[in-house]
């Protein structure tokens, strides 16, 4: 029986760099001379690919649809970096919500740690937008234009102008524009994005530049950078070694069953007993990061399961049981037994419950308004005719609620003081902040150095707060 897939005509990257050079592995995406080795994976349809296809398109629908979804009039998710406001499930967090943001980030990280400890790089292979768009949008289109792996390699080797490729890249540009807009919708919101798109670039040059720049970056990523994102750029890939343990789920080759590997033809001609691996390299040729899974767990493996499907197809053809490459754990491969409950798998959920619980409690007990009192710009106080001392205060109220509010305020512990506020009550629209000025005048001798007062604020619907403040006068230590 011949090999199932055609051989790669290109020289294989070396693992022993030869006499006089440091022995070691050449990066799977580099040629011996250090140039980029273009990865042209063979598509391997199969049970896992079909499942990933369903997940991928459900995710693409979510990526596109979620920015449009609203909870209580607010976006479900909006990472508004420009205005430093982050909305999760309709709840808006401000930069001043330091503790909440910290707990939120901690909960996300702990959940990633737990999922990785249990399921390995399931995020990379099944959920990461880089993988989802690359493998289920850009790669299928590439196959449509350039053909399968052998044809793509042949085109690469031919060099020069390939008439189909400019058309393919034109389609990539259009797709990159779409992906860039979806990406931006998560950061600026669909309303702002629609405004940018409906106006001439001359009216909003900054917005136009951001859309154009993001489109170019997306195009570079999906047309050129590709697997390098996972192999050399992604920080999550770098911390895998610390997050996985011997019982984490990984895509692995069963060495005990597969080795010694050998071509099927040897069986008929020699007495050599070979394992189930017929060394067809289908698993290598389908790998989007160009690694050989038979060499064990490698950092470049994104758990995409393509090698499982490729090898299962081969096993079906040679009438051997499926699963020579399969989802398993290092421990299960060696001892035949895996362990789901491990210390980290117990500790992570406990930590998630504590941190997530604290986050939930704080989020539901947040004050409906944030009140800040600042000293006026310029001199801390002024002395006028007759020795009258004037302090200028700036009262800033951020209404975190869903409704506009009217905030009344007054000064307390302010005997002997006269205060003037041009805007009282202060009206603040929902989820916005407003600032007003208060002038406090005191007759000579009322403030000796400094005088503590309180600014009492209430919104008429149950919210009250007393903010302490120090008025300054002659003799104050500045
Ligand atoms: S592991 Fe499977 S796909 Fe890979 S070379 Fe061996 S038989 Fe072929
Ligand atoms: S080794 Fe297999 S699972 Fe890992 S990236 Fe390559 S094809 Fe995907």
The pLDDT assigned to 18 comes to 47
Q: Which atom of ligand 1 is nearest to the CA of 284?
A: 4
Answer whether 118's CB lies under 8 Å from 248's CB.
yes
Burial 347-372 (b: 16+ CB within 10 A, else e): ebeebbeebbeebeeebeeeebbbbe
Q: Which residues line ligand 1 (CB under 6 A)?
A: 253, 258, 261, 277-283, 294, 310-311, 314, 324-325
Q: Which ligand is nearest to the CA of 260?
A: 1
Q: Which atom of ligand 2 is nearest to the CA of 300?
A: 5
If you take atom 7 of ligand 2, which residue's CA is the nearest one?
A: 287
Say yes or no: CB of residue 289 within 6 Å of ligand 2: yes
Answer whether 10's CB lies under 8 Å from 32's CB.
no
Cis peptide before 109 (omega within 30 of 0): no
Say yes or no: CB of residue 251 within 6 Å of ligand 2: yes
Q: Name the stretches of the chain with pLDDT < 50.
A: 1-3, 16-23
- Which of these CATH numbers, 3.40.50.720, 2.60.40.10, 2.120.10.30, 1.10.3720.10, describes 369-472? 2.60.40.10
Q: Which residues pair with 64 in a beta bridge?
A: none
Q: Are strands 405-412 and 450-458 parallel, antiparallel or unpaired?
A: antiparallel
Q: Which ligand is nearest to the CA of 253?
A: 1
Q: How far apart are CA 311 and CA 432, in angstroms?
A: 58
Say yes or no: CB of residue 329 within 6 Å of ligand 2: no
The pLDDT assigned to 19 comes to 47
Q: Which ligand is nearest to the CA of 259?
A: 1
CA 315–ligand 2 middle distance (angstroms): 17
* Substitution candidate for ligand 1 out of 12, 294, 321 with most atoms within 8 A of CB: 294
If you take atom 5 of ligand 2, which residue's CA is the nearest one?
A: 301
Say yes or no: CB of residue 428 within 6 Å of ligand 2: no
Say yes or no: CB of residue 293 within 6 Å of ligand 2: yes
If you take atom 4 of ligand 1, which residue's CA is the nearest one?
A: 283
CA 179–ligand 2 middle distance (angstroms): 25
Angle at 232 between CA 230 and CA 233, to 5 degrees: 75
If you take atom 1 of ligand 1, which residue's CA is the nearest one?
A: 277
Q: Which atom of ligand 1 is nearest to the CA of 281?
A: 5
CA 284–ligand 2 middle distance (angstroms): 8
458 three-state secondary structure: strand
Q: What is the pLDDT of residues 389-438, one digit of tens each?
A: 999 999 999 998 778 999 999 999 998 899 999 999 999 998 789 999 99
351 three-state secondary structure: helix
How would DSSP label each residue in 236-251?
A: HHHTHHHH--TTS-EE
> What are the structural domain ranges in the chain?
1-366, 369-472
Q: Which ligand is nearest to the CA of 240?
A: 2
CA 7–ligand 1 middle distance (angstroms): 13
What is the pTM (predicted TM-score) of this model?
0.79
Rounded (10°) CA dihedral 216, 219, 220, 224: -160
> In whole angstroms, how large is the CA radius of gyration of the chain?
32
The pLDDT assigned to 82 comes to 77
**3-state SS string over 204-232?**
CHHHHHHHHHHHHHHHHHHHHHCCHHHHH
274 three-state secondary structure: coil
Which backbone phi and psi does 157 adopt, to 5 degrees? -75, -30
């Amino acid at each position: 029986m011949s090999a199932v897939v055609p051989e790669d005509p290109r020289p294989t990257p070396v693992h022993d760099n030869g006499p006089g050079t440091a022995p070691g592995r050449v990066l799977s995406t580099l040629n011996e001379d250090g140039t980029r080795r273009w990865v042209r994976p063979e598509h391997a349809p199969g049970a896992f690919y079909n499942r990933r296809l369903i997940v991928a398109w459900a995710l693409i629908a979510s990526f596109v649809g979620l920015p449009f979804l609203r909870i209580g009039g607010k976006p479900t998710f909006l990472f508004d970096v420009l205005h430093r406001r982050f909305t999760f499930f309709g709840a808006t967090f401000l930069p001043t919500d330091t503790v909440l943001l910290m707990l939120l980030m901690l909960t996300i990280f702990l959940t990633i740690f737990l999922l990785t400890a249990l399921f390995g790089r399931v995020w990379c292979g099944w959920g990461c937008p880089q993988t989802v768009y690359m493998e289920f949008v850009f790669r299928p289109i590439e196959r449509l234009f350039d053909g399968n792996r052998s044809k793509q390699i042949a085109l690469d080797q031919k060099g020069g102008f390939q008439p189909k490729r400019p058309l393919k890249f034109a389609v990539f540009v259009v797709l990159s524009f779409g992906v860039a807009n979806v990406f931006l919708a998560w950061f600026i919101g669909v309303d702002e994005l629609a405004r940018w798109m409906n106006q001439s670039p001359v009216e909003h040059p900054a917005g136009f530049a951001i859309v154009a720049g993001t489109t170019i970056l997306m195009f570079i990523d999906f047309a050129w950078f590709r697997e390098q994102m996972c192999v050399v750029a992604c920080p999550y890939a770098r911390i895998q070694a610390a997050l996985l343990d011997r019982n984490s789920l990984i895509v692995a080759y069963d060495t005990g069953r597969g080795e010694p590997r050998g071509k099927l033809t040897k069986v008929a001609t020699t007495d050599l007993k070979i394992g189930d691996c017929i060394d067809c390299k289908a698993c290598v040729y389908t790998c989007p990061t160009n690694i050989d899974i038979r060499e064990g767990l490698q950092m470049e493996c994104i758990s995409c399961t393509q090698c499982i499907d490729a090898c299962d197809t081969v096993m079906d053809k040679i009438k051997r049981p499926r699963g020579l490459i399969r989802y398993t754990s290092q421990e299960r491969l060696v001892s035949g037994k895996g362990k789901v409950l491990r210390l980290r798998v117990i500790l992570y959920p406990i930590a998630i419950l504590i941190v997530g619980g604290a986050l939930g409690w704080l989020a539901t007990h947040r004050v409906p308004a944030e009140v800040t009192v600042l000293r006026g710009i310029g001199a801390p106080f002024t002395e006028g005719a007759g020795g009258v001392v004037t302090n200028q205060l700036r009262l800033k109220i951020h209404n975190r609620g869903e409704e506009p509010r009217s905030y009344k305020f007054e000064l307390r512990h302010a005997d002997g003081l006269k205060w003037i506020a041009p805007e009282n009550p202060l009206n603040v629209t929902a989820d916005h902040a407003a600032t007003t000025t208060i002038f406090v005048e005191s007759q000579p001798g009322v403030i000796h150095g400094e005088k503590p007062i309180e600014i009492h604020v209430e919104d008429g619907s149950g919210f009250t707060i007393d903010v302490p403040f120090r008025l300054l006068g002659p003799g104050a230590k500045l």
